[in-house]
Chain A
Amino acid sequence: MNLSRRQFFKVCAAGAGTTSLALLGFSPDAALAEVRAFKLANATETRNTCPYCSVGCGILIYTLGDRSKNAHAEVIHIEGDPDHPVNRGTLCPKGAGLLDFVQSENRLKYPEYRAPNSREWQRITWDDAFTRIARLMKEDRDANFVATNEAGQTVNRWLSTGMLAASASSNETGYLTHKFARSLGMLAFDNQARV
């Protein structure tokens, strides 16, 4: 059986046209089909940078609402920034899925504390967290700060507490973190440049 496409349609049309109407008198419904409505029509667009690798792709974040007082901005979609000279609107699979990072079920929502030898987290307030951490840090710094080394040289360093800085935090955060760490005399200080 090898009807050509054209023949096929002709046969169909002829057969269908004559028989259907004549036999049944049903009329076909209106030939309308609306595409899915464009979902970003009035969402707020914010320009941002992908936080993953170092290509630094421009992204557009779409949020619900127009930033009016009573509208809670919720990120609803993220895609590439077409103006960006490097990515020109494109995004890799991680970048294209950034929404799932923002909305990950594993986002932390409040400060937590795990006591020594405990099996669980307990929720604490920010103030409690800062107070307690600052006390621990001060205790350790006061006890272990090295003002001069064995050779009597001024070294002013604190080696018993260290810090790892975030490779995805902004320059502004990084700069403040650096000020913070060095003012305390920290040297056990590193970032993700190596890994």
Chain B
Amino acid sequence: MTNHWVDIKNADLILIMGGNAAEAHPCGFKWVTEAKAYRKARLIVVDPRFTRSAAVADYYAPIRAGSDIAFLAGLINYLLSHDKIHHDYVRSYTDFSFLVKADFGFENGIFTGYDPEKHSYDKASWGYQLGDDGFVLTDPTLQDPRCVYQLMKAHYARYTPEMVSTICGTPQDAFLKVCEMIAETSASDRVMTIMYALGWTQHSQGSQMIRTGAMVQLLLGNIGKPGGGMNALRGHSNIQGLTDLGLLSNLLPGYMTLAGEKEQDFAAYLDKRSPKPLRPGQLSYMQNYPKFFVSTMKAWFGDAATAENNWAYDWLPKLDKTHDILQVFEDMNAGKMNGYICQGFNPLASAPCKIKVSGALSKLKFMVVIDPLATETSEFWQDHGEYNDVDPTKIATEVFRLPSTCFAEEDGSLVSSSRVLQWHWKAANPPGEARADQEIIAGLFLKLRELYAKDGGAFPDPILNLTWRYKQPHFPSPEELAREFNGRALADVTDPKDATKVLVKKGEQLNGFAELRADGSTACGCWIFAGAWSEKGNLMARRDNSDPYGIGQTLDWAWAWPANRRVLYNRASCDPAGKPYDPSRMLVAWDGVNGRWGGSDIPDFKPDSNPTDGMGPFIMNPEGVARFFAVDKMADGPFPEHYEPMESPLANNPMHPDNPLARANPAARVFKGDWDSFGKPDQFPYVATTYRLTEHFHYWTKHCRSSSVIQPEQFVEIGETLAAERGIRSGDHVRVRSNRGHIVAVAVVTKRLRSLSVEGKQVHTVGIPIHWGFMGVARNGYLTNTLTPFVGDANTQTPEFKAFLVNVEKIQTIV
């Protein structure tokens, strides 16, 4: 979230699209009801299903699953053509006036540089025109046809309300009603927030859906403002933290990136990640990258990381490609992998295409499952009848199942979607011999290190030199680990402006990432977490909930990254002169008297930068402004374009009916063998979408009695029209088939799933909640990833769980 949960109460309009906050995040959704009740805010829900969020919405518009870009692109077109944009904001804080390279183009659904063989783009032409000074050329009059504004206007003019309705199935009047309501927030004192979740991410074009939403927010001037922002509602309690800590194939802590194998030169590696400002007077904060990187290496490898060995740069693995979960299961299925460790993760249920995952796991030599609960993954080899029909005697994988603690049995911190790190305390001992996760990792690591120390082996250096300064090596305490990722001074850290002034003494905890140094004098495990545990103590454990400004900015409650800032880009809540656009909801403002920024939040800005200096509010971008034109940051184009889901009821993309290459996302990665696994609309005529229900959490709560009482048994939702066509009544058992498998479930026939008129034909949606499986106290059911396609978003490889094709039939008798 750019903003945070409580801040939603400051919104005038809330758009929930690509998410279902009322069901998936009920306690955060309370701030929507607060905004409605006390700010007279309106709530719009756009969703294929009339969800429980829609139940309390002021306006609901249906949409075909997977067509969100078309809807939002139509909205952009509406805002531009009706001149409902925040002029001051877009001129000052975005790349509206930036000139784009002359050879960039877009034709028949494909951007320049496409290689149909590789399904990817050469992005050389996706950039700005640079002047001789290295700065981007601009046209403040916005007249130049190569300026971002003009290009964008032309790009989105194609998304007329008629076209939107044709693609999305949303009735035109409903679409226009949503546009009108949203357009009102282009006023300075009206703010909209967008709340989305996996309804946007889990598409082959998911990242671009989110980008389109962000572009809408930028046009309306809603980013950085209280009650505004782009708010990704993360799905798990610490998925934010794990992402922050870089537990992804290609990341290092704090969104630093691992080097590719071609990046053999350390200086070049740093240089590429420390961009110089692209406009005069801009901060381009990531120029500090070397400080973050070196400090992390010092935290990990201590004295073994030296300037001479490039801070152990070579010890980090170098990427050939991204080994995300889809790639890993592809490789595993191809027999290229031998071992796998699943720590609190249930991929047999969570990863797409169960049959492929199951086959892949069966090819492993060993698998280790670390979990508090008996998961499906840990029993992938076991015969569970129709729900997991395998022959154990044919599966040679050795499986270890290690019991870990749950939340109640450990200390530690979690990062909420608001980016707030909150400490929690252990209440009881775990059952039996269960151990805390860090104790299990320590046990494994120390055993490995012992073996490497004794017997040697492949490249033991990083293993033998990994810092392990824990008082009880077998039980690194959460406190020690938190202090380590916060960072400490290895030597006195002095003020760069005054070398005699010691900011932090040797051995002391750091107060923030501003104190990091690239010379090895600081160690910091995760730079964005620097400040969480300073010499003041554990700031994540703070419990002062006072809200002095009354707008929900509880700065003394726990600690938020970065730098305890609660609303990102908050400089943009002020006009270029530093005055809040809406003084009644002030986040920060320029205090001319003291020459500093201040207010109810920590300024997301250089704190002493006078507005007259013209520094842009988006300091993480070398441009200093927000980008409508994504330059080379996206895999599938600088401007979002509608593509059909990989499995779509339409034969062609209505935007580009005669270009089969532009039917689905041209840059989406599909593994060779998987093309045949996609179903066609003649056999699988209905659009399916999978989702969570409010009663359950993923595949965990089926192990809990209370959740199982209130939602006991697997079901699918079917609209009344489709049900009538197929002779299905509520309570009947139905079989839902995709080209990859089938599930059997109870039918819930509902008015809430409408059939939509798409390109003149009626498209039905089948809703498939995900929560059941063959382990647990709830009634056993099928893992719904039996149905889902093995394809991910072009940028993030997030699987396309939200739009695929199925067929449905009534089962006459249940055996």
Contacts and interface: CB of A to CB of B under 8 A. Distances in A.
Interface of A: 44, 46-58, 61, 63, 72-75, 78, 83-88, 90-102, 104-119, 121, 126, 129-138, 140-142, 144-145, 147, 149, 151, 153-195
Given A102-B428, A107-B434, A153-B262, 19 more contacts: A54-B237, A56-B416, A83-B545, A86-B5, A86-B27, A97-B704, A97-B707, A101-B700, A113-B399, A134-B451, A156-B459, A163-B340, A167-B345, A170-B424, A172-B482, A180-B444, A185-B462, A192-B345, A194-B202
Contacts of B402: 108, 111, 126, 129
B401 A156 contact: no
Given A116-B398, A134-B444, A138-B451, A171 B432 contact: no
Contacts of A130: 443-444, 447
B250 to A, nearest CB: 8
A113 B459 CA distance: 29
Interface in B338-386: 338-345, 347, 350-351, 365-366, 368, 370-374, 381-383
Contacts of B704: 94, 97, 100-101, 104
B296 to A, nearest CB: 10
A166 B345 CA distance: 6
B240 to A, nearest CB: 6
A55 to B, nearest CB: 4
Contacts of B320: 149, 155, 157, 187
B536 interface: no
Interface stretch (B66-74, B136-144, B658-666, B691-699): B691-699
B230 to A, nearest CB: 15
Contact of B242 (A44, A116, A131, A169): A169
A56 B448 contact: no
B396 interface: yes
Contacts of A163: 340-343
Contacts of A92: 25-27, 694
15 contacts: A49-B237, A78-B408, A86-B5, A98-B407, A104-B777, A107-B432, A116-B397, A138-B448, A157-B317, A160-B337, A161-B340, A165-B242, A170-B414, A171-B244, A171-B413
A116 B396 contact: yes
**7 cross-chain pairs, A with B, having the tightest CB-CB distances, nearest first:** A166-B344, A109-B432, A56-B416, A170-B412, A97-B706, A108-B403, A161-B339
Contact of A170 (B370, B417, B478): B478
A162 B340 CA distance: 5
B235 A155 contact: no
Contacts, number: 503
A193 to B, nearest CB: 5
A114 B399 contact: yes
B552 to A, nearest CB: 7
Given A53-B234, A168-B407, A194 B396 contact: no
B771 to A, nearest CB: 10
Contacts of B325: 164, 190, 194-195
B342 A56 contact: no
A156 B320 CA distance: 11
Contacts of A100: 704-707
A180 B441 contact: yes
Given A85-B557, A170-B414, A52 B247 contact: no
A87 B554 CA distance: 13
A16 to B, nearest CB: 42
B775 A106 contact: yes
Interface string B761-797: 0000000000000011100000000000000100011
Given A93-B710, A138-B448, A145 B459 contact: yes
A183 B462 contact: yes
Contacts of A116: 395-398
Interface string B196-212: 00100110000000000
Contacts of B414: 49, 51, 56, 168, 170-171
B245 A54 contact: no
B234 A162 contact: no
Interface string B415-437: 11110111011111101111111
B272 interface: no
Given A100-B706, A114-B381, A176-B441, A169 B398 contact: no
B270 interface: no
B749 interface: no
A59 to B, nearest CB: 8
Contacts of B697: 52-53, 94
A97 to B, nearest CB: 3
A51 B445 CA distance: 26
B317 A53 contact: no
A121 B403 CA distance: 13
Interface string B588-621: 0000000000000000000000000000000000
Contact of A161 (B246, B337, B396, B462): B337
B345 A115 contact: no
A48 B246 contact: no
Contacts of B257: none
Pick the most buried of A44, A57, A115, A188: most chain B CB atoms within 10 A of its CB: A188
B318 interface: yes
Pick the most buried of A63, A98, A171, A180: most chain B CB atoms within 10 A of its CB: A171
B314 interface: yes
Nearest to B798: A194
Nearest to B420: A56
Given A53-B235, A55-B25, A136 B366 contact: yes
Nearest to B443: A130
Contacts of A133: 366, 368, 400, 444, 447
A137 B424 CA distance: 33
B707 A49 contact: no
Contact of A176 (B261, B324, B438, B447): B438
B134 interface: no
A90 to B, nearest CB: 5
B344 A168 contact: yes
B458 interface: yes
A108 B401 contact: yes
A97 B318 CA distance: 44
Given A55-B27, A94-B695, A46 B350 contact: no
Given A113-B399, A188-B331, A188-B337, A108 B434 contact: yes
A179 B383 CA distance: 36
Nearest to B526: A175
Contacts of B413: 170-172
A61 B799 contact: no
A47 B408 CA distance: 9
Contacts of A171: 238, 241, 244-245, 412-415, 421, 481-482, 485, 526, 529
Contacts of A181: 247
Nearest to B451: A138
B466 interface: yes
Contact of B243 (A58, A118, A193): A193
A96 B706 contact: yes
Given A86-B28, A86-B418, A188 B237 contact: no
B426 A46 contact: yes
B605 to A, nearest CB: 24
Contacts of B437: 166, 169-170, 173, 177
Contacts of B328: 162, 188, 190
